[in-house]
């Protein structure tokens, strides 16, 4: 195969590969990211750029700018097309659109490069090669090691920042909540305690109405990240017209209300 | 008139220096000068490998500084500035040295531009924490769930009407399965790469010099919004990339003919379509710039009887596309932008009329002053610009006045003093800050000419470029100081009413509880911070003055629920109220607790009374459904007659 078309062949293979991966619903996150990111950010723009500029008009940096810019631009405009179509903006419709865009651009690029090669005289033919094929990278081992070190340092910086951001401030939260379930035959309340992060402890939970204790949980042990939930039927135990209150006390401070919620049983939610 | 034109030509012949005559024809000049570099060192990496390690160390210091800030460490802030200076100053100084190859210059500006992007990314590396990011995240989230565009977003109603950024981010999320956060970070990162590369190539073609292009691009990174604001997951961050891609395509097409000329036109049109659908202000500023370029071309051709090509038809197309989008899709943009522009005009008129400034420089909304060193550096940037601008304009006149696009940039640079005056006014400050990303494009070109032709040596001479290391550092740091409040630059511990500083686990957990237990899209009123959290993590339909025309502040700040409050609750059909008791502990750093107009009406001297916030506890049929210590959620459906 002529080196002139090698890049287009690669592009034309990668796009359908991403299409197949999505259509067959392969649940491999890394593979999906490896093929999906180029499908959105590089391949459509590369194919369009190749179709628009089949000769060596564009230098390498220009090609990078237009490849990325046209990929983003065509994705955005493609989003409007998908919105207009009955399928909408979903994974399948996206990969089909982007694959067709890439293949369409590649076919035009193939044709234009082929025609250019035909029309060029043998003496000038080598000049028609895109500059990227001619430019050596010229990277020595030392340079490569320095670039590699830079990448490692930046990756380390991101890992450090992510680790610290996940730990600070600590996500230690205890939530108390109560919801009326009016859909049941008899009115019920759902009562719950949610722990986030490392928050834990032993709690006393009281459900009362107008001073009368309807139900009590004297020693609820909540572990970090635990969700405790119960349902209480009200009709049998209801003793007044006031709100039903749930009060949560910490074991170390039995007289101090730690969390409090209330509900008027008559109110619809 | 003809005599004047002859005089102009005579002046040209006498004053344009031999070297600059190449620049008089910028495209051929570009070829020659770039080729001259290419002959010596175009393909060399130069100092780039070593300096990329230096830049990476700057990024690492930023990561350590941000981590320290989370613990409120006193060394965090000095380390932050040290990291930024290490990231920018050595690389910027290298760009000023003679003999920098094109490849090296491009590599250096990529390291600087992406390093600056990391400065923001390391601030919030696991989730969005900036106010504007939440607004766009909601649009993206709705798009991902519904598979449709133009869904309602009460947090920022214009956001779904300019869905370019969200389309790109959700396309990645859909295809790869990555989260919206990760997809958004990737899209904005790619846009940043396109921006710096296109900016460099644009300047390189105009100036015909690797060094001018490199310096101008490096200086552009000193604009107040580059490091943080335009690195956010917000529509301007992507739109800027399209703006520069369009300008580059239009400039490139001028030196080609035939089908290639048409290809560049197609690139510009496609970019324009994406731009119009991405951000209102950027697409308007693009049209204004193209119009200026077109007018300068017409004037130039008329004056010199020349036939320079100009962007006439694409300007008309841009204007038509913007008008069609504004009238057909996003007419509410007028109501969204008009108050900001009118406020700016009014403030300037007041200033001209001698009524004084209604804004104190270097003072936050909450009245906290900026440290002295920051003030000095903050003033240093505009000072250095003002110092260099006359020299830059002189060099433009001497060397580039026969280039139409250089004329356009020189005229555009003159808008900088106007934006500087606007900074003195309360109404004009925001418009000035927002416009800096556009004004800096022509401005840095003029500044780079001043540095290149007035100050920097032609031959190897280390002294002067090294003396400019502080210049680059001050210029860059001044931009950050001018663009973002000191208390919001780093992830310091929680503060009341302080946007990114107020995003913390308790608020996030409450919002997630709402999404899971209450279900999506209930009508909820909350303070500014919880409005963003509940509107995104909680998937709720937040009540805002922007779209519901209900005064949220009035509901929360009233001492008791009187007829007016009850009416507001009914009008807003508010089902749930989120009360964050922490607003009773401190004044809001951003100047308001609930809605931005508060700071103009309510001169807060002390925080809101806890009794005022607790008024919902004493109302019959109001349910307190949720309590996480500081955050309480009330069901007030009975007051709003909402089932």
ipTM of the complex: 0.90
Say yes or no: B84 and B217 in one domain: yes
Instruction: Give yes or no for a contact between A132 and A63, defined as CB atoms under 8 angstroms apart.
Output: yes
Say yes or no: B547 and B474 in one domain: no
Average pLDDT value for residue range B559-576: 92
Q: What is the pLDDT of residue B39?
A: 42
Which of B143, B192, B136 is CA-nearest to residue B165?
B136
**How large is the angle between the packed helices B332-352 and B426-450, nearest 10 degrees?**
80
B620–A264 C-beta distance less than 8 A: yes
With a cut of 50, say whether residue B18 has pLDDT above it. no
Query: How many CB atoms within 10 Å of residue B554?
Result: 15
Report chain B's mean pLDDT, rounded to a whole number. 88
Say yes or no: B369 and B238 in one domain: yes
Q: What is the pLDDT of residue B32?
A: 42
β-bridge partners, A194: A175, A227
Counting beta carbons within 10 angstroms of the beta carbon of residue B328, is it exposed (0 to 12), middle (13 to 18) or buried (19 or more)? exposed
| Domain that includes residue B567, residue range | 499-640
B637–A268 C-beta distance less than 8 A: yes
CATH of the domain at B539: 3.40.50
Residue B493 belongs to a domain: no
Which of B38, B49, B120 is CA-nearest to residue B84?
B120
SS3 B439: helix
Say yes or no: B574 and B432 in one domain: no
Residues with Cβ within 8 Å of residue A252, at least 6 apart in sequence: none
Instruction: Give yes or no for a contact between B43 and B103, defined as CB atoms under 8 angstroms apart.
Output: yes
Residue B494 belongs to a domain: no
pLDDT tens, residue by residue, A114-165 = 998 888 755 544 444 444 444 467 788 999 999 999 999 999 999 999 999 9
Average pLDDT value for residue range B114-133: 95
**Spatial separation of the C-alpha atoms in residues B277 and B161, rounded to whole Å:** 8
**Spatial separation of the C-alpha atoms in residues B124 and B490, rounded to whole Å:** 9
**Spatial separation of the C-alpha atoms in residues A219 and A236, rounded to whole Å:** 24
Which of A202, A253, A256, A261 is CA-nearest to residue A232?
A261
Torsion of CA B290, B237, B526, B559, to 10 degrees: -60
Element (H, E) at A202: strand A201-209
**Spatial separation of the C-alpha atoms in residues B272 and A55, rounded to whole Å:** 24
Of A41, A151, A179, the CB nearest to B190: A41
Of B175, B278, B635, the CB nearest to A36: B175
Q: What is the pLDDT of residue B348?
A: 76
pLDDT tens, residue by residue, B204-259 = 999 999 999 999 999 999 999 999 999 999 999 999 999 999 999 999 998 888 88
SS3 A108: helix
Residue B148 belongs to a domain: yes
Say yes or no: B518 and B396 in one domain: no
Q: What is the pLDDT of residue A112?
A: 93
CB contact A20 to B (< 8 Å): no
Say yes or no: B128 and B260 in one domain: yes
Q: What is the pLDDT of residue A55?
A: 86
> Which structure tokens are listed for B165?
């950024």
> Within a 13 Å sphere around the CA of B61, how many CA atoms are in the beta-carbon half?
21
Q: What is the pLDDT of residue A202?
A: 94
Which residues of chain A carry a pLDDT beneath 70?
A: 1, 121-136, 184, 235-240, 266-269
First to last CA, chain B: 78
Query: Which of B436, B453, B488 is at the close of a domain?
Result: B488
> Which structure tokens are listed for A51?
């179709």
B505–A138 C-beta distance less than 8 A: no
Query: Which of B488, B521, B546 is at the close of a domain?
Result: B488
Minimal Cα–Cα distance from B578 to chain A, Å? 13
Which of B624, B516, B512, B506 is CA-nearest to residue B576?
B624
Residues with Cβ within 8 Å of residue B120, at least 6 apart in sequence: B227, B228, B231, B232
Residue B355 belongs to a domain: yes
The DSSP annotation for B107-131 comes to HHHHHHHHHHHHHHHTTSSSS--SH
Q: Which of B174, B492, B637 to mutate to test the interface with A (most CBs of A within 10 A)?
A: B174
Task: Give chain A positions within 8 Å (CB) of B45.
Answer: 138-139, 143
Say yes or no: B435 and B537 in one domain: no
Task: Give chain B positions within 8 Å (CB) of A165.
Answer: 66, 70, 124-126, 491
A62–B623 C-beta distance less than 8 A: no
Task: Give chain A positions within 8 Å (CB) of B122.
Answer: 157-158, 161
**Spatial separation of the C-alpha atoms in residues B386 and B110, rounded to whole Å:** 27
With a cut of 70, say whether residue B90 has pLDDT above it. yes
Of B57, B172, B508, the CB nearest to A37: B172
Task: Give chain A positions within 8 Å (CB) of B506.
Answer: 173
Say yes or no: B567 and B461 in one domain: no
Residues with Cβ within 8 Å of residue A84, at least 6 apart in sequence: none
Say yes or no: B311 and B334 in one domain: yes
β-bridge partners, B273: none
Residues in chain B: 643
Number of domains within chain B? 2
CA–chain centroid gap for B385, Å, is 19
Which of B439, B449, B419, B440 is CA-nearest to residue B431?
B419
DSSP 8-state secondary structure symbol assigned to residue B516: I
Say yes or no: B472 and B523 in one domain: no
Say yes or no: B173 and B232 in one domain: yes
E strand segments, B108-211: none
Q: What pLDDT band is residue B13 in, cutting at 50, 70 and 90?
A: very low
> Within a 13 Å sphere around the CA of B137, how many CA atoms are in the beta-carbon half?
25
**Spatial separation of the C-alpha atoms in residues B69 and B259, rounded to whole Å:** 55
Residue B440 belongs to a domain: yes
* B-chain residue closest to A84, CA distance: B148
* A-chain residue closest to B66, CA distance: A161
Query: Which of B469, B488, B507 is at the close of a domain?
Result: B488
> Which structure tokens are listed for B394?
């002189």
**Spatial separation of the C-alpha atoms in residues B142 and B153, rounded to whole Å:** 9
β-bridge partners, B204: none
CB contact A250 to B (< 8 Å): no
Residue B604 belongs to a domain: yes
Residue B544 belongs to a domain: yes
> Which structure tokens are listed for B361?
């420089």
Residue B353 belongs to a domain: yes
Say yes or no: B418 and B560 in one domain: no
């Amino acid at each position: 195969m002529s080196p002139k078309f090698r890049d287009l062949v690669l592009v034309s293979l990668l796009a359908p590969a991403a299409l197949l991966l999505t259509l067959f619903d392969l649940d491999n996150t890394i593979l999906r990211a490896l093929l999906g990111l180029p499908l959105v950010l590089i391949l459509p723009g590369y194919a369009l750029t190749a179709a628009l500029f089949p000769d060596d008009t564009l230098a390498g940096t220009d090609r990078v700018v237009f490849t990325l810019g046209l990929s983003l631009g065509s994705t955005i405009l493609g989003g409007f097309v998908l919105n207009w179509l009955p399928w909408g903006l979903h994974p399948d419709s996206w990969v089909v659109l982007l694959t067709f865009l890439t293949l369409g651009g590649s076919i035009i690029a193939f044709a234009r490069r082929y025609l250019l090669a035909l029309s060029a005289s043998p003496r000038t033919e080598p000049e028609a090669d895109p500059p990227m094929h001619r430019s050596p990278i010229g990277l020595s081992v030392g340079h490569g090691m320095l670039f590699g070190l830079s990448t490692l340092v930046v990756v380390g910086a991101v890992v450090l920042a992510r680790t610290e951001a996940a730990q600070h401030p600590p996500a230690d939260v205890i939530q108390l909540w109560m919801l009326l379930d009016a859909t049941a035959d008899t009115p019920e309340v759902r009562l719950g305690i949610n722990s986030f992060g490392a928050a834990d402890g032993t709690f006393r939970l009281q459900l009362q109405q107008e001073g009368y204790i309807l139900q009590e949980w004297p020693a609820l042990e909540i572990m970090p990240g635990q969700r405790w939930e119960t349902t209480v039927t009200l009709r049998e135990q209801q003793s007044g017209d006031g709100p039903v209150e749930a009060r949560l006390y910490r074991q170390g401070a039995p007289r101090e209300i730690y969390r409090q919620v209330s509900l008027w049983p008559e109110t619809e939610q | 008139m003809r005599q004047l034109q002859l005089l102009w030509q005579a002046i040209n012949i006498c004053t344009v220096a031999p070297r600059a005559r190449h620049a008089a024809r910028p495209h051929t000049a570009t070829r020659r000068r770039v080729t001259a570099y290419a002959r010596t060192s175009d393909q060399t990496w130069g100092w780039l490998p070593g300096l990329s390690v230096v830049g990476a160390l700057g990024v690492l210091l930023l990561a350590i500084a941000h981590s320290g800030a989370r613990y409120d460490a006193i060394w965090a802030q000095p380390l932050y500035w040290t990291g930024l200076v290490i990231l920018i100053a050595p690389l910027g100084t290298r760009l000023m040295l003679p003999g920098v190859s094109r490849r090296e210059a491009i590599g250096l500006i990529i390291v600087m531009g992406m390093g600056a992007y990391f400065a923001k990314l390391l601030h919030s590396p696991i989730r969005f924490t900036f106010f504007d990011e939440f607004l766009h995240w909601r649009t993206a989230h709705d798009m991902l769930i519904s598979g449709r565009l133009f869904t309602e977003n009460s947090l920022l109603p214009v956001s779904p009407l300019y869905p370019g950024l969200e389309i790109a981010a959700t396309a990645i999320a859909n295809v790869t399965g990555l989260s919206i956060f990760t997809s958004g970070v990737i899209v904005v990162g790619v846009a940043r790469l396109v921006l710096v590369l296109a900016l460099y190539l644009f300047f390189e073609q105009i100036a015909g010099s690797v060094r001018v292009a490199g310096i101008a691009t490096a200086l552009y990174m000193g604009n107040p919004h580059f490091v943080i604001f335009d690195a956010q997951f917000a529509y301007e961050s992507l739109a800027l990339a399209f703006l520069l891609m369009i300008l580059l395509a239009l400039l490139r097409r001028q030196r080609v003919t035939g089908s290639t000329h048409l290809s560049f036109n197609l690139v510009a049109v496609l970019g324009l379509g994406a731009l119009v659908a991405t951000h209102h202000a950027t697409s308007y500023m693009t049209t204004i710039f193209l119009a200026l370029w077109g007018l300068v071309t017409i004037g130039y051709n008329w004056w010199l009887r020349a036939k320079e090509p100009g962007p006439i038809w694409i300007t008309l197309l841009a204007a038509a596309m913007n008008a069609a989008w504004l009238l057909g899709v996003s007419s509410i943009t007028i109501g969204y932008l008009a108050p900001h522009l009118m406020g700016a005009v009014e403030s300037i008129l007041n200033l001209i009329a001698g009524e004084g400034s209604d804004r104190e420089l270097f003072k936050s909304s909450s009245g906290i002053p900026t440290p002295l060193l920051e003030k000095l550096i903050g003033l240093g940037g505009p000072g250095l610009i003002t110092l260099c601008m006359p020299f830059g304009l002189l060099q433009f006149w001497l060397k580039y006045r026969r280039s139409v696009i250089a004329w356009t940039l020189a005229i555009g640079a003159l808008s900088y003093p106007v934006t500087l005056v606007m900074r003195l006014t309360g109404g004009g400050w925001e418009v000035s800050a927002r416009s800096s990303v556009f004004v800096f494009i022509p401005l840095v070109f003029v500044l780079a000419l001043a540095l290149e032709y007035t100050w920097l040596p032609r031959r190897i001479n280390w002294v002067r470029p090294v003396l400019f290391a502080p210049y680059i550092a001050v210029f860059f740091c001044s931009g950050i100081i001018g663009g973002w409040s000191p208390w919001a630059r780093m992830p310091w511990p929680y503060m009341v009413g302080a946007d990114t500083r107020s995003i913390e686990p308790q608020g996030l957990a409450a919002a997630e509880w709402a999404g899971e237990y209450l279900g999506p899209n209930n009508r909820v009123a909350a303070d500014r911070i919880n409005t963003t959290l509940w509107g995104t993590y909680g998937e709720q339909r937040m009540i805002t003055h922007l779209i519901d025309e209900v005064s949220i502040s009035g509901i929360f700040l009233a001492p008791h629920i009187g007829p007016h409050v009850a009416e507001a609750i009914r009008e807003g059909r508010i089902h749930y109220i989120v009360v964050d008791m922490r607003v009773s502990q401190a004044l809001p750093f951003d100047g308001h607790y609930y809605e931005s107009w508060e700071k103009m009406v309510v001169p807060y001297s002390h925080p809101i009374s806890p009794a005022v916030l607790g008024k919902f506890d004493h109302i019959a049929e109001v349910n307190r459904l949720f309590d996480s210590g500081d955050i309480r959620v009330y069901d007030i459906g009975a007051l709003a007659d909402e089932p």
